[in-house]
Structure 1
Amino acid sequence: MIGGLVALKIDPTIMAQLGAGRRTVVITGTNGKSTTTRMTAAALATLGEVATQADGANMDAGIVAALNVRRDAPLAALEVDELHVPHVCDAVNPAAVVLLNLSRDQLDRVGEINMIERKLRAGLERHPETVVIANCDDVLMTSAAYDAAHVVWVAAGGGWVGDSVSCPRTGEPILWDGPHWRSTGSDFARPEPDWWLDSSYLYGPDGVKVALSLALPGNANRGNAAQAVAAAVTLGASVEDAVAAVSTVSEVAGRYSTVQYGSHSVRMLLAKNPAGWQEALSMIDPDVDGLVIAVNGQVPDGEDLSWLWDVRFEHFEGVQVVASGERATDLGVRLTYAGSPHTVVRDPLKAIASCPPGRVEVLANYTAFRDLGRALARETRDV
């Protein structure tokens, strides 16, 4: 990001200059931004060269750096931090904005989630020509997009509803009936989706039905792919080409990758907040030989780890669990109350080494994931 930081100091309008003349898709949400951005970039690449971030740097400096690397690219797929979306949209005037989901994350930095929804809603109001690709299964993102002039609704899934118990517009309770929801105090309700999924197919407008088989695991990634395809089709890609492109994405900045470390085959998973942890935990193979859960509490992670008590750690039966990371003791307390037998090994590399030989799943939050990835790269390079 250093180039972007310097450029912004020299000229604060540089983002608008670099964004001019491109057809841009902005992707935002609490979880899945990097994955959906990678998928959107792959789908848009069927139309032409795409400027995008490769490493998830989703604030101003990272966005400027990404646009600068591909100055002549006619298309852009930009991952944008939720708080930065309004002014980034003002700068690049996107053709489309993808709204994934909203849930609690880094409360010490961003505050309560309803405030984010209101800021997104106000930001979109300034861009009436922008097409909004919104997840209609997420109450808060639906609210942010509800008044937009051009909305493509995608039933991308919403496994975490703990932050959507009340209507963001009226404060009245949200009532759920299967996948459908509505506010008890107004006509605010789940819109009919234009795109939706089942376990095998993606369905879309005008009778579209195409097989969707991904290299990435989990239902959340199928929802991410659906929104990426919808965004690319909105900009002119064919459904078949877009689906084929998103299906090739197999890892995102090391996430979901597998690394051989000594006698252990290590698969890396990232989770950063209760909603993300709940989804990632569902991807854990119950037959693995070991599970390392690594948690830090640095500024990028959010220093308040009270969210650990919102995550269900109760279902690890027959798996050797190791609590690790800078906040391993906090995690160990939570696992104890969950009735999950575990050991505590603060160093994630040593935690992996303590597991029986074979397959080890590592589930880590942001800085723990980053630091362990670097450590594994050094260890495997030196072998």
Structure 2
Amino acid sequence: MPESTEPLTPRARLAVTAGKAAAAVSRAAGRGSGSVIGGRVALKVDPDLLGRLAGHLDVVLVSATNGKTTTTRLIAEALRAGGEVVSNALGANMPAGITSALAAGAKARFGVLEVDEKYLHAVARDVSPKVIALLNLSRDQLDRAAETRMMADHWRDGLEGSPATVVANCDDPLIVWAASASANVIWVAAGQEWKDDAWSCPACGGVLQRPDEHWACGDCGFERPSPTWQLSGEKVVDPHGSTWPIRLQLPGRANRANATTATAVAAFFGVPPQTALERMFSVTAVAGRYDVVTHQGRDVRLLLAKNPAGWLETFSLIDGAPAPVILAVNARGADGTDTSWLWDVDYTRLAGHPIAVLGDRKLDLAVRLEVAGLEFTVCEDLAEALRVSPPGRIEAIANYTAFQDLRRIVGN
């Protein structure tokens, strides 16, 4: 169990109360959950509140370009076998949202927290995590996010000298570069389908050789470390060579990889793989992702894809029968306003699928699909997209704010 700490100071208690009040006002006004504004108000009252709220917790931080929210949810479910968990389950992953989440965890043992890549170092400094899980790094929000190599360097600087144990994906060279600065690393072979951001060596700039699953730099010798845990088909292989079947209600290889990392994290805290994986089976959706909803008489599965790597993983979920597809893209603040990443996505994977296009940047997406040689229909709204889609369950793939728009429309 974590060590007990002193009760919150009067200032900290006032900050928590003010934050909860601000969140309640936001919810009453229909402005969302209020977690972000609540956290901002609380941190204004007590700038040290985040560390105070985490003081009694065994904290796990999860960061990556893709898969943070799902992996955080899976880890939280696994660790509930060992005690109460507080988590930012809805994905508010900057300091304000994390502060709001922790304010509800006075009786918890574990804090399982998704953290935006840019804030990992700052949050880790404040909450003193026991474990940091690093999944992947790839291009995302190019107008406001650091280039992937810069982000890896930033993580590496932050991890140097950290007492936290890092659970890291050894198949992503950028993750290995960042995690190698830590003295305590558990390597997980979780795979890397998107490789376009990891062809050059992050240590020296040389070309990485990838003859098979192993990768190495021929110039400086930087190479893939041997994993302690690994994903093998639909099983987790533990450090002793024992295999454990992964049975999830979440689809796809990426989620099996997330479950493998979550199993390794849970084992660090003494939760056996079988127990951890059994608990993960209870997760059916994550903040609306993968939900199948019925709207206007049509079944629609909601899928989130925010960047080229995410779209590639999502396409793998709809391979096979040519189900109708709705693609929705916005470019608002939370998405990043630069849509040049559309040209990095291999939309030819959608050949044969009837495609409807909508969203604020539907014309940008339409140009990209036309260049890819695909047939599609540009629609003004979801109602029109449903009308033009042929029979069958519809796969709706959207980036962040477009996904939230769809959820509001279908009442999910």
- Given the two structures, how large is their TM-score scaled by the length of structure 2? 0.89
The answer on whether the counterparts of 2:157 and 2:181 sit within 8 Å (CA) in structure 1 is no
SS of 1:206's equivalent? coil
- 1:6 lines up with 2:35 in the alignment: no
Runs of 4+ displaced beyond 4 Å: none
Aligned equivalent of 1:145: 179
Deviations 1:155-201 (A, max 9, x none): 11100010011111111111101111011221210011111122231
1:62 maps to: 97
Q: State the 1:357 CA deviation.
A: 3.3
Tell me how far apart the structure 2 counterparts of residues 352 and 120 of structure 1 sit (CA, whole Å).
43
2:142 corresponds to which residue? 107
Identify unmatched segments of 5+ residues in structure 1.
379-383
Distance, in Å, in 2 between the alignment partners of 1:111 and 1:346 is 33
- Distance (whole Å) between structure 1 residues aligned to residue 237 and residue 351 of structure 2: 37
Deviates more, 1:76-85 or 1:199-208: 199-208
Partner SS for 1:36: helix
Q: 1:274/1:317 Cα in 2 relative to 1: closer, same or farther (>3 Å)?
A: closer
CA separation of 1:285/1:188 partners in 2, compared to 1, >3 Å: closer, same or farther?
A: closer
- Among 53, 77, 80, the residue aligned to 1:18: 53
Q: Measure how far apart 1:212 and its partner are.
A: 1.1
Matched, 1:313 2:312: no
Secondary structure, aligned partner of 1:69:
coil
Counterpart in 2 of 1:198?
A: 232
- For structure 2, list consecutive stretches of 5 or more residues without a partner in the other structure: 1-34
Residue 76 of structure 2: aligned partner:
41
How many angstroms does 1:323 deviate by? 1.3
Which of 261-270 and 206-215 deviates more? Answer: 206-215
**Could you list the per-position Cα deviations for residues 218-247 of structure 1 after superposition, in whole angstroms to 9, with x for gaps in the alignment?**
111111100011011111211111111122
CA distance in 2, matches of 1:15, 1:187: 40
**2:236 & 2:383 partners in 1: Cα distance?**
40
Q: Could you tell me whether the CA contact under 8 Å between 2:172 and 2:192 is conserved in 1?
A: yes
Partner of 1:334 in structure 2? 368
Residue 87 (structure 1) aligns with? 122
Query: Does residue 1:186 correspond to 2:220, yes or no?
Result: yes
Shift of 1:206: 1.7
Say whether the 8 Å CA contact 2:161–2:182 is kept in structure 1.
no
**Equivalent residue, structure 1, for 2:409:** 375
Match for 1:60: what amino acid? P
Deviation string for 1:45-104 (max 9, x for gaps)? Answer: 110000101210000011001100112211110000011000100111100000000000
Q: Contact 1:51 / 1:69 at 8 angstroms: preserved in 2? A: yes
Q: What code does the residue aligned with 2:289 have?
A: R
> Aligned match of 1:221 in 255, 259, 264?
255
Instruction: Determine the C-alpha separation between the residues in 2 that align with 1:284 and 1:47.
Output: 36
- Root-mean-square deviation (CA), in Å? 1.2
**Conservation of the 8 A alpha-carbon contact between 1:288 and 1:359:** no
Kindly state the Cα deviation for residue 289 of structure 1 after the two structures are TM-superposed. 4.2
Equivalent in the alignment of 2:306: 272
Tell me how far apart the structure 1 counterparts of residues 207 and 241 of structure 2 sit (CA, whole Å).
Answer: 35
**Structure 2 residue aligned with 1:75, among 110, 117, 134?**
110
Asked if structure 2 preserves the Cα contact closer than 8 Å seen for 1:97 and 1:130, the reply is yes
Distance in 2 of aligned mates of 1:178 and 1:342: 37
**2:4 counterpart residue number:** none
Tell me how far 1:209 sits from its aligned partner.
1.3
Distance of 1:233 and 1:13 partners within structure 2: 31
Deviation at residue 290 of structure 1 after TM alignment:
1.4
How many Å apart are 1:339 and its aligned residue?
0.8
Letter in 1 for 2:365: L
Alpha-carbon distance, 1:26 to partner: 0.2
Contact 2:234 2:256 in 1 (8 A): no
Cα distance in 1, alignment partners of residues 161 and 397 from structure 2: 39
CA contact (8 A) 2:84 2:110 kept: yes
The correspondence of residues 114-263 of structure 1 with structure 2, limited to 5 A, is 114-127=149-162, 129-263=163-297
How far 1:285 moved relative to its partner? 4.6
C-alpha displacement of 1:288: 5.0
Report the residue type matching 2:148 in the other structure.
Answer: I
Deviation digits for residues 246-298 of structure 1 (CA, Å, limit 9, x no counterpart): 22211000000000112310001000001001111111154254110000011
Deviation, 1:348, is 2.8
1:287 aligned residue (314, 318, 321): 321
Letter in 2 for 1:216: L
**Match of residue 344 from structure 1:** 378
Matches of 2:226 and 2:238 in 1, distance apart?
Answer: 12
CA contact 2:39–2:100 (8 Å) conserved in 1? yes
| Distance in 2, Cα, partners of 1:287 & 1:35 | 26
TM-score normalised by the chain length of structure 1: 0.96
Count of residue correspondences: 377
